[in-house]
Amino acid sequence: MCLRCGGKAPDDLESDEAGAWIARWEGGRVVELTCPSCQTPLDQAEAEANDAALEVGREDGARFFPDPVICMTGTLTEPVAILYGMDHLERILRTGQAEGIGVIDRLPEDTRCEPTAGGVLIY
């Protein structure tokens, strides 16, 4: 459903029609949808910038993982370095709740993780 007008989103989010909608992600899930009629030029520019950042990352060999995710060298029981997701880890430690949070461990020491819209790019 469109955040602004309440219009119904396409049932198939992989369709060409759905491709014109803008989604905002939080915690690995779509939290807002904006239909083409309600999008502002700023909304469109931000979406294009996010898409470009993802495309550049993929062309440079990065893999995209949606948030919430924790990326680390070592293992969950013996982490060496938290490369991304320290806020997620702190939330787990504070609340004891880890549902829905992915963990990518045993990454090589020279791994680079960069936050991007809706997740992280891992190089």
- The pLDDT tens digits of the residues spanning 48-98 come to 998 899 899 999 999 999 889 999 999 988 989 999 999 999 989 899 988
State phi, psi for 24 to the nearest 5 degrees: -110, 130
- The pLDDT tens digits of the residues spanning 10-57 come to 988 788 888 899 988 776 678 899 999 999 999 999 999 988 998 999
- The pLDDT tens digits of the residues spanning 107-119 come to 999 999 999 888 9
Q: What is the pLDDT of residue 28?
A: 63
Single pTM value for the model: 0.72
Contacts of 19 (CB under 8 A, 6+ apart): none
Residue 70: both structure tokens together: 């924790």
2: which DSSP letter? B
